[in-house]
A and B are shown apart, each in its own frame.
Chain A
Amino acid sequence: MTTTLTRAERPYDPADLSSHEFWEGTAEDREKTFAELRANRPISWHRPVKNGMFEDPNDQGFWAVVRHADLVEVTRRPGDFLSGKGITFESFPPEMLDAAQGFIAMDPPRHTKIRRLMAAAFTPKQLARIDEHIVANSRRIVDDIIRKGADKGQIDFVTEVASLVPMNNICDMVGIPEEHRRTVAYESQFADGWRDPRLLQGAEPLARLAQTIMTVHGIAHELIGQRRSKPENDLMTALVQAEVDGERFTDDDTSSIFALLIIAGNDTTRQSISHGMKALTDFPEQRAWLMEDLEGRLPMAVEEIIRWATPIMTFRRTAAHDTELGGHHITEGDKVIMFYSSANRDPEVFDHPERLDLSRWPNKHVAFGGGGIHHCLGAQLARRQITATFRELLTRLPDIRTVGEPELGNGNFFHTVMSMQAEFTPENAR
């Protein structure tokens, strides 16, 4: 049955996906709500998210898409469900979208051209060529924690491992020099962490976000100038030399793509490595199974770790016109939110989705997207980094494990681990 109520008339679903408390909890808490919605009300209308910022008086709510099949369908209907109006719950001002979200918040035909251009740097063959750098970066990070943790064997896993892996690899690819690396990795956290008092440290969210954009664009503009006068073999050079429809990118276009690359490059793989380390600690029998044939089983294990982590929990689309989805009438302009965390726990697709099963194969998780035009550009890069890091960690620090519960973020976009302690026996390190 199709209902044709207007946005203002639609009743809100009783399940809570919008409160601050919902997003402050754990993935397991949220899964209880998702399970009920998947079983009974797979497409449901909800009140707008509460966050105290970017609350738009015209924002009457959002559709929640929680099943795997529906998420794939929305992803694969880019003409009906647009990205160009924003990719998060919040109605960010358009100038902020332009400055920080690059081609992820774009629609065809412009998206098509920029995506094709970027694809060249991320092809499987190109990544195979840089794999030795990826492996070397993970090796150096493990060398450093062995040295630093030599007396006690205790580290903050996020600071010392999970955040450094993607920081070094994406900065190598883009061409960001050492002196800017920690800054861009730190600033990228504000993309979703602008609501987190632990990160804000008293700053006003909008002002802090603006500061992030200025800092990142400042570094981008500096690099643009340098690459124009002296080209290098990196993505920044490719961007300043690129032409789309016979035109060069403006410096602001290039900066926006730069911002997207560092945010998407840093804040995703970081979470997968953190959640992966926690999972390997929590499920020792799975870890033992993996260690019986680490090289042979790592590819399967990495896919399951990525499903388990689901580093991006949600993406939004906006209805381009009145349309149908799963028997519901969707009105032009409606926000449609896809819940990746929920789709990756859909029992229609995964046998015992609540179990970490490192031997799960095929693993049809949607952590990199549902196979649409915005499918993760860096999927192969992420897989290689996670593989290299766990290979190093598990072989050289055989008893590395997390301690206690991680401190989690409170956002609705990245599945953030803010900090997490880990320990290992220094005498066993090799």
Chain B
Amino acid sequence: MRIVVDRTKCSSIGLCEATAPDIFEVGPDGALNILMDDVPAGRRIDLEQACENCPTQALSIED
């Protein structure tokens, strides 16, 4: 599984990082970094929650 970030929407509010800090990180320049290129299937619930929590609907999952 892969996480896709829509950079035009992402405001780096960081709620995804609060959900899964090992996958998402707001970097020192304020841009969102994805720390895992290929997210194991067992983490689907975390990813779905991060997508759902995103205030700007900037995240999506690509299988």
Contacts and interface: CB of A to CB of B under 8 A. Distances in A.
A159 interface: no
B55 A120 contact: no
Contacts of A108: 11, 56
A373 to B, nearest CB: 5
A117 B10 CA distance: 12
Contacts of A123: 14, 17, 25-28, 30
Given A124-B21, A126-B28, A119 B13 contact: yes
Nearest to A118: B30
A300 to B, nearest CB: 16
A120 B26 contact: yes
B36 interface: no
A75 B53 CA distance: 12
A76 B30 contact: no
Contacts of B9: 112
A108 B13 CA distance: 13
Nearest to A123: B26
A124 B12 contact: no
B31 interface: yes
Interface residues of B, number: 19
A329 interface: no
A152 interface: no
The interface size bin for chain A is 20 to 34
B14 A115 contact: no
Contacts of B10: 116
B15 A120 contact: no
A63 to B, nearest CB: 21
Interface in A118-139: 118-120, 122-126
A370 to B, nearest CB: 9
A372 interface: yes
B26 A115 contact: no
B28 A373 contact: no
A9 to B, nearest CB: 34
Contact of A119 (B21, B26, B53): B26
B37 interface: no
A162 B25 CA distance: 31
B21 A375 contact: no
Interface in B28-63: 28-31, 53, 55-56
A375 B21 CA distance: 18
Contact of B17 (A115, A124, A372): A124
A111 B13 CA distance: 11
Interface string A65-78: 00000000001101
Given A120-B30, A123-B28, A125-B25, A115 B12 contact: yes
Interface of A: 75-76, 78, 108, 111-112, 115-120, 122-126, 371-373, 375
18 contacts: A108-B11, A112-B11, A119-B11, A119-B13, A119-B14, A119-B26, A119-B30, A120-B28, A123-B14, A124-B14, A124-B17, A124-B26, A126-B28, A371-B15, A371-B53, A372-B55, A373-B11, A375-B55
5 A-B pairs with least C-beta separation: A120-B30, A119-B12, A123-B26, A116-B12, A119-B30
Interface of B: 9-15, 17, 21, 25-31, 53, 55-56
Given A108-B11, A124-B21, A373-B55, 5 more contacts: A76-B55, A115-B11, A119-B30, A120-B30, A375-B55
